[in-house]
Amino acid sequence: MPKILIADDEVNIRLLLQMTLERLNDAGVELLVAENGVEALRQIRAHKPELVFLDVMMPEMSGYEVCSMVKKTNPVPGVAIILLTAKGQDADYQAGMNAGADQYLTKPFDPDVLLVTAKKILGLSD
Amino acid sequence: MRIRPRILVGSLSIALLPMLVLLLALQIVALVQQNINIGNSLQDSVARLKDDFSRDMDKYQNFVYFTSRSIKNFGRNDLRDLTDPAISFMFNKLRLTTLELTYGPEVLSRKLNMNNDFSLEYILDSEKAKFYWNQMDDPLMPWYATLSTPDLVSNIFVMRHIAVIYNSGLAEKVGLVVATMPIDNIYMTDLVGTSQDLIAVVNVGGILISSSQWPLQPEAISKMHRAFGRKRAGYEQLNIPGKGDYYFAFDSLFREKGKDIADIGILVRGDEFRQLMTTNLIVSLILFIVISAAATLVALSFSNRLTVPLLDLRAMVLNFQRNLEMIPRPSRIQDEIDELQDGFGRMTESIWNYQESLVEYSQNLNESNRKLQELDRLKTEFLNSVAHEVRTPLTSMVGFARLIERFAQDDLRQFLPQDVPKVAKTVNNIVGNAQIIFEEGMRLTDLLNDFLDLAKIESGKVEWKMEMTNLRTAAEHALISVKPMFEKKGLQVELIAGKDLPNIVCDKNKIIQVLINLLSNAAKFTDQGKVVCDIQATGSELLFSVSDTGIGISPDNLGRIFEKFKQVGEIVFKDIKGTGLGLAICKEIVEYHRGRIWAESEYGKGTTVSFALPLAFSVGRGEEKAG
């Protein structure tokens, strides 16, 4: 059962992501939710989701730090991370890539695009 | 005293000093030499005595008068009328004693050589007491015709002068006049004066004929005599038994035809003499030192009068340099140095005042600077806040709009009967409205992004990442980005770029941003046809052109499209969406790269927006182009 983790400190964004990705429940995908960086890291280590949508600006620990931990410091294999951010500068993009992220999406995003991306990564058909 | 006279006096005294020193040094040298060569000094004395002797001889002559017929005494008065100028001279000049007959034991014939060519011959016949004389050519004879033999005279050294006496008609010689001068103690006394030295005259026979002081012992005389008779003048050190050691200098007093007639010598006590010399030397040395010291002091004093104030002034200036201590203005201005100090004083005062003002200004500036930096920081924070705080609700808005659309499109259509017209219409409305919300939300996002971009560029807050870029690759990237947009509208897009385009240094992402913007604009304003992106390399530039077959831009608006919030079409075609900032941002980006951007259009036919980037671009705004 593939798992997707949603990590964002904004309740509305969490709801948006959940509602967008709910469609995948029929394909057997389980959704996990975290409200801050520390929680996100714990869940990743505990459940090892195949895909993580990680907001960059979070309290406790930023998305960059979580990504860095998961990808570099104490790698958890088989976890794809997509960073979501309100910033759009090249420097932020670079920071994301340096942290080891697989993809980088700027807000606001098109939920359709998000869904298609998730399906692609999990290897699910349309 | 003013400087110029001061320097003059100082220089003069300094110039005189070496002269004085030199003079004294010479004197010391002379004295030292004298000390070394005492004999020479004695010899000088002897030479002086000789000269005195020659000069004063005429004082000491006596007369003898002879006639041919009879031996008779003639007194002074008899001689008074004689016409012989020599006789007259003798009469007037000399002391006269009457008749001194002198006889000699032998006949003497002598030819005397006088000055010039005159000669006199006479014969002295002592037995007959007769004098014969030869013819005489000229009655005038020089003074120093002499005759002296030790036998004729006693031990007294005599000098004689002979003159002929004529009668009044100058026809007949009537007699001779002989002037004689004995060298005796009267002469010696006069000669020596009060000198403590012994001056002796010894004749050729070795007999002391005169001496100024106490009579010498025979040993002394014989010693002296040994020294005498030598061809040259000289000196010796003598030890006279019972008397001590003496210095003795001698010279020939009178010679006749190369033969020494009489010698004169000076005898001085050795120790006395040396003492005298030494005393002289010491006195000279002391004088030398004293005068040197005095001259040095004078020179120093004058130079100090000049240098001390100058050095003081220099110290004050240095003090100001180091500690910023003000130079005090002198209470009285007496010379140029005081004037200088006064000037300096006023300067330092001014500097102080300026400094205080400067400190104040600088403090104000610092304050302003701080405030500006604070404002700048706030501005950045503000921009960042805006970016984040606005995007978040926008994300919700846009996202949920899309979800509503999805729910309506997929689920409602599925679950509600579509054959009921009202139901279908409602669902369509929901879908349409949701789409509008989504699109407007995205437009708001674009506007926000453009606004933030422009703000960042304008405040120089953008980080430009300049690197060597392959423009063909960049253009391909841009095309991929806009492809969905073109596909949706059914438009074609084409890239024309040679494979050998030169790479240039630029901010890759920003140039891609420009291309995306231009291509998007082209797509927006074109309904059908093709959009072409063309990249060419000219001699000095890389030329980009994006051409479309859209509505075009009127000539009035052509120059203004790069301004902010200006967009052609918003007036005529209200459904064309755009932010109006895009081209302004492109302009900023292109101009940062020292390029230029422009547009060409034919209203109704199409538009071409072009920009050119220089091939040789050096990093950073404001620097000169390389190459």
Tokens for A106, please give them.
Answer: 């700027």
Q: Which of B6-20, B118-132, B207-221 holds the top average pLDDT?
A: B6-20
- Token duo for residue B387: 């970016």
pLDDT at B482 over 50: yes
Q: Where are the domains of chain A?
A: 3-122
Highest mean pLDDT among B63-72, B145-154, B356-365: B356-365
Answer whether residue B337 shows pLDDT above 60: yes
Cα distances (Å, whole numbers) of residue B71 to B124, B152, B161: 14, 19, 19
Question: DSSP 3-state assignment of B177?
Answer: strand
Give the residue-averaged pLDDT of B350-364. 91
Q: Of the ranges A36-40, A90-94, B415-419, B523-527, which one carries the lowest mean pLDDT score? A: A90-94
More confident residue, B249 or B489: B489
For residue A87, list chain B residues with Cβ-Cβ distance below 8 A: 387-388
SS3 at position A84: strand
Name every chain B residue with its beta carbon within 8 A of the beta carbon of A19: 400, 403
Q: With beta carbons less than 8 A apart as the criterion, state whether B443 and B401 touch.
A: no
- Is B441 in Cβ contact with A86 (below 8 Å)? no
Given this model, what pLDDT does residue B255 score?
A: 59
C-beta separation of B247 from B275 below 8 A: no
pLDDT in tens, A117-126: 899 888 887 6
Q: Do B399 and A57 touch (CB under 8 A)?
A: no
Question: What is the dihedral sign for C-alpha B169, B170, B172, B176?
Answer: positive
* CATH, range A3-122: 3.40.50.2300
**Buried residues in B560-580 as b, exposed as e (16+ CB within 10 A):** ebbebeebbbeeeeeeeebbb
Q: Which of residues 445-464 of B touch A (CB under 8 A)?
A: 445, 449, 463
State the average pLDDT over residues A50-78.
Answer: 90
The set of residues, in sequence order, having a beta carbon less than 8 Å from that of B352 and lying 6+ positions away, is B324, B326
Instruction: Judge whether B84 and B76 are in contact, CB under 8 Å.
Output: no
Determine how many CB atoms are found less than 10 A away from the CB of residue B144: 16
> Residue type at B36?
I
Chain A, chain B: beta-carbon pairs less than 8 Å apart: 56
Residue of A nearest to B509 (CA): A90
Residues B318-328, mean pLDDT to the nearest whole number? 89
% pLDDT > 90, chain B: 15
CB-side exposure of B13: number of CA atoms within 13 Å?
19
Interface test with B, best of A14, A21, A56, A90 (most B CBs within 10 A): A90
Q: A110 vs B21, which has greater pLDDT?
A: A110
Could you say which DSSP state residue B411 is in?
Answer: I
What's the confidence (pLDDT) of residue B368? 94
**What angle in degrees, to the nearest 10, is found between the helix axes of B270-323 and B38-56?**
120
Query: What residue ranges in chain A does DSSP mark as E strands?
Result: 3-7, 30-34, 51-55, 80-85, 103-106
- Quick check: B610 pLDDT over 60? yes
* pTM, two decimal places: 0.47
> What is the spatial distance between Cα A11 and Cα B362, in angstroms, rounded to a whole number?
51
**Pairwise CB contact (< 8 Å): B392 & A13:** yes
Quote the CA–CA distance of B327 and B247 in Å, as a whole number: 73
Most confident of A86-90, A92-96, B124-128, B508-512: B508-512
The more confidently predicted of residues B587 and B21 is: B587
Model confidence at B263, pLDDT cuts 50, 70, 90, reads low
Summarize pLDDT for B384-428 with one digit per residue, the tens: 788 878 888 999 999 999 999 989 988 888 888 878 888 888 899
Question: Does the pLDDT of residue B15 top 90, yes or no?
Answer: no
Output the average pLDDT for chain B. Answer: 70
Cα separations in angstroms, B178 against A39, B78, B148, B262, B317: 163, 15, 13, 21, 95
Q: Is the pLDDT of residue B573 over 90?
A: no
pLDDT, mean of residues B276-305: 79
Per CATH, the architecture of B463-614 is what? 2-Layer Sandwich (3.30)
Q: Which residues of A touch B388 (CB under 8 A)?
A: 57, 86-87
The reply to whether residue A87 touches residue B387, judged by beta carbons under 8 angstroms, is yes
What are residue B602's phi and psi, to 5 degrees?
-125, 115
Domain ranges in chain B are 37-182, 345-462, 463-614
CB B509 within 8 A of CB B465: yes
How large is the ipTM?
Answer: 0.90
Name B232's Cβ contacts closer than 8 Å, sequence gap at least 6. none
